[in-house]
Structure formats: structure tokens, C-alpha cells
Amino acid sequence: MSQLYLISPPAIGGDFPDLLAAALDGGAVSAFQLRLKDVDEAAVCRAVEVLLPVTQARDVAFILNDRVDLAVRLGCDGVHLGQEDLPQGGVARARAMAGGLSLGVTCHDSRHLAMEAAELGADYVAFGAFFPTATKAARTRAPIEIVEWWSSVMEVPCVAIGGIVPANCGALVSAGADFLAVVGAVWAHEAGPGAGVAAMLRAMA
């Protein structure tokens, strides 16, 4: 059964702790990833300090995007790295830096990158984008078959990402995706983030 992996919107405001709480109270979310691009380190640290207690109170894993060092220092549960964000030394070095934290690695549509990441200690790999998305400029379009292949040959979990909404998530659930990562389906929901989470979970079930 696929689980829900929530990613922050590209920019967050002062009301975001309340929005996050509402989203997490909308149903079972397994992980929350804070993904803030083009902000300074101090801003990331402030966001983590405010948002981490929200997820901890609800037993939701807090994943920080890009920064292994900050994830360790700030007490996050894990870190997610894109291929361009890996430290010198690649996944093996990131694994050593992360220690006991969960380590996720973006692998786009590449079986090779995913196999390599798993062999070097990634706790999960992420494939995508599967559908058109306005959240970020997707470099690749991943076929759903890559999830079917991965789930049939590997025990390391995979995350599907990219334009996933209630109307299109069924194929990824059927393919065996361990986690579905969503952004707009929750934060842009007309009835609020709690309703967005509830709608995703209904569709996934």
C-alpha cells in the first residue's frame, strides 16, 4: 500500500506552521519534506526550528532537502538529495555524513542511478516526474514501468514524484510505489491542505 509523502510548497509564509498542522491532521502522512530553494541558511534553520515540532507531535518524519549538514545539526529525521546536491564523493559520502538519518536520492528516470544509490546506502530512491508539474521544471519524464520494475526487483523503497493528484495516482499505486510525493494536490486544494491530504488518501486507497 502506497503511503503519502508531503513536500512543502516552493515558498512558505508566517502562517505555514498552521497550514502544515492542518495538512497533517487531514490523514496519515508518513513524511514531510521541507524544500526551500533560493533562501539562505538562516532562513532554512528558522523554518526547521518552527516546523519540526509540528511533525514530531504527529509522528511524521521530517526530511530536509539538499543539506546533509543542516539535517544532522538540526535534528531532522532524514535528508533528500538531488543528483546536483550530492556532496563530493556522491551517495557514499552522503551516507557517511547522514549517519543514522534516512537518506533519499533523486534518480529521475534512471535505473542505473537508482541501483547505484541503493547499493551505496540510500534508504529510498525517487523517480519522476511522472506527470506535468508546475512546481519545478522537470528535467525528465519517468515512465510508470520504472516503478513496476523497481518494486519487482528491489527491497529499497521508491518514491514517485511529479504532478501526482487524486485523478492520476491510481496507476502508481498499482505499480507498487511505496510513497507518493505531492505538493500542489495538497497546498493548492480549494478546501485547504487538510482536505487535500484526505482527498489524496481516498484516491490512493
CATH number of the domain where residue 156 is located: 3.20.20.70
**What is the residue-averaged pLDDT of the chain?**
96
Tell if the pTM clears 0.95, that is, is over it. yes
Grid cell, residue 148, equals 513496476
Q: How confident is the model at residue 139 (pLDDT cuts 50, 70, 90)?
A: confident
Confidence of residue 133 (pLDDT cuts 50, 70, 90): confident
Beta strands of 49-111 (E only): which ranges? 61-65, 78-81, 102-106
Kind plus residue range of the DSSP H or E element containing 128: strand 124-128
Look at residue 179 in the predicted model and tell me its pLDDT. Answer: 98
Count of domains forming the chain: 1
pLDDT confidence bin for 67, thresholds 50/70/90 = very high
Q: Residue 42: which domain range?
A: 3-204
How far is Cα 181 from Cα 184, in angstroms, rounded to an integer?
10
Instruction: State the pLDDT at residue 140.
Output: 82
Taking the C-alpha atoms of residue 155 and residue 16, their distance in angstroms, rounded to an integer, is 35
